[in-house]
Amino acid sequence: MTTLPWWGEVGDKNHGVARYSTQLAFHLARAVGMDRTIGIDAVSESGVERVHVHFTDRLWATSPERAAERFERLAATTAVTVTLHDIPQASDGPVNQRRRADSYQRVIAAAAGMSCNSEHEASLLADLTDTAPEVIPLPVDMQPLSLRADLLDGDVAIVGYFYPGKGHAEAVDAVAQLGRASTGVTALGTASAGHEADLTDLIARARALGVEFTATGFLSDEALLSACRSASVPLAAHQHVSASGSLATWISAGRKPLIPNTRYSREMLTLRPGTATLYEPPLLSAAIDAALDDPESTWLASDAVTGPDSAATARRYLAWWETVVW
């Protein structure tokens, strides 16, 4: 396949975007019969003619400007296609949104082609470029449901890195309103770099409200699956998400999480009917209360639509690369 790129690896391998890149590369290798992963810092000396990478500024560098510079250096040595993640939006704040938007515009200008993970993201990108991205949704790979937990832990859980705006504070406030002493909030992950103090502050604030809030720290895939199946209320509460690996994690574990009623959430329920329960953000406490009273509502029914999976997603990428003008 003359249009097949190498698959670039970059940044912290525990980062959600890097983990998705690795997951996708595995299924691409199965589809084409060869492993074409390469570290991006090795590209310039390798002589490879084309490479595909996944970009979010925080994975590539310590600032949006440096992330764009690093991408541009790569694109100066080989043709690059890119999957854009964490698209800049108003919730970044006016200053950081502008800085991130400038960074993403530079990446788009240097790339031979771009994709994103949702139509919602495509609409955000329309503010940055006149070029329409290829939209390839994040996959869901179902795990065997025979591992379903028999006893739930009574807590509300949120998957992934902790940082302000992810929904942990809203979950704490919602649980405090319930007045159920046995119900706590658990962050299934660790604090994002630079937000350790925010985590400590929320633990203290939750305690003052009478809510036990804990963070597990980094979890292996096996431990995360177990924790997802033990939580009483699966929650993906990010108000400003543009594409959600956390939502895919809940679904792959057989859970039907609560998700806020947003444009992205509605798009995902159109793609995967029956895989989540929408709630209006001001009514999160009532939604949690209902889920605690009806545990079966937090598990996928047999008619839930969970695809596409990683194999199908890999095929989508292979078809897209055939159309790219390298």
Strand partners, 51: 6, 80
Q: Which residue has the tokens 């925080």?
A: 58
Residue range 95-103: mean pLDDT, rounded: 96
Question: Quick one: tokens of 219?
Answer: 């979890």
State CA 250 to chain mean position distance.
Answer: 11
pLDDT for the residue 270: 97
Residue range 234-242: mean pLDDT, rounded: 83
Domains of the chain: 6-139+309-321 (3.40.50.2000), 145-298 (3.40.50.2000)
Confidence of residue 92 (pLDDT cuts 50, 70, 90): confident
Can you say whether the dihedral through the CA atoms of 311, 239, 262, 258 is positive or negative?
positive
pLDDT in tens, 132-179: 999 999 999 998 876 566 678 999 999 998 989 899 999 999 999 998
Short-list 205, 214, 217, CA closest to 156: 214
State CA 188 to chain mean position distance.
Answer: 14
Short-list 56, 46, 62, CA closest to 19: 56
The better pLDDT of the pair 244, 258 is held by 258
Residue 1 has pLDDT above 60, yes or no: no
pLDDT for the residue 148: 64
pLDDT in tens, 40-73: 999 988 989 999 999 999 999 999 999 999 999 9
Burial class (CB in 10 A: 0-12, 13-18, 19+), 159: buried
Its pTM stands at 0.92
User: Which residues neighbour 47 within 8 Å (Cβ) at sequence distance 6 or greater?
Assistant: none
Strand partners, 7: 37, 52
pLDDT over 90 percentage in the chain: 86
Grouping H, G, I as helix, E, B as strand and the rest as coil, residue 108 is helix
DSSP letter (8 states) at residue 147: G
